Amino acid sequence: MKLILLTKPEFFCGEAEIINRLFRHGLPTLHLRKPQATAEEKNALIAQIEPCFRNRIVMHNHALHSCHTLEEVSRNKQHSDYVFLSPIFDSISKQGYRAAFTEQTLRQAHTAGIIDGHVIALGGITPANARKALSLGFGGVAVLGDIWQSNDPVARLGEYLV
């Protein structure tokens, strides 16, 4: 399973150390998404990440697409290594942000070749429903709130890696 952890949009105290710990405990990919940050601020965070992990950091850019419809996925996935489709489940980090697709719609999209290994499920991902997302044909999952809002992000990550 491809597992991507998105950063919280804002910087916080101790963030670099937690990211280093997550990498040490098996985090495969960190998606650095700080929409209000300057390049200098992002680079300062990256400078605090152990050099051996920096190749696992993906910078959020315009070539990476966050899609909210299946039509957007169809249009954009051929131009990217992967695209996010959200929200797949009710969001953990955004109150009131509900799942936008039924299970049947997602299964049909997989059968039609829209959802495949280049489409990453985002929105409301937990260890339990990550497996469900994979069964629906997604190439992986992207996590935000479930890990960052936990009391122990490293222990929570471990639940995804089993």
* Segments in the chain below pLDDT 70: 61-63
For the packed helices 153-161 and 127-135, what is the interaxial angle rounded to 10 degrees? Answer: 30
Q: Where are the domains of the chain?
A: 2-161
Task: Compute φ and ψ for 115, nearest 5 degrees.
Answer: -90, 120
Mean pLDDT over each residue of the chain, to the nearest integer: 93
Whole-number Cα distances in Å, 108 to 81, 91, 142: 22, 22, 21
**CATH superfamily of this structure's domain 2-161:** Aldolase class I (3.20.20.70)
pLDDT at 80: 84
Tokens 């992207």 found at = 142
Residue type at 104 in one-letter notation: Q
Task: Identify the DSSP state of 116.
Answer: S
Model-level pTM? 0.92
pLDDT at 107: 97
For residue 84, the number of C-alpha atoms closer than 13 Å in the C-beta half-sphere is: 24
pLDDT at 62: 53
Please name every residue paired with 121 in a beta bridge, in sequence order, or none if there are none.
Answer: 85, 141
Helix extents (H) in 77-152: 103-111, 127-135, 145-148
| Distant-in-sequence, close-in-space partners of 90: CB < 8 Å, separation ≥ 6 | 97, 98, 99, 123, 124
pLDDT at 111: 97
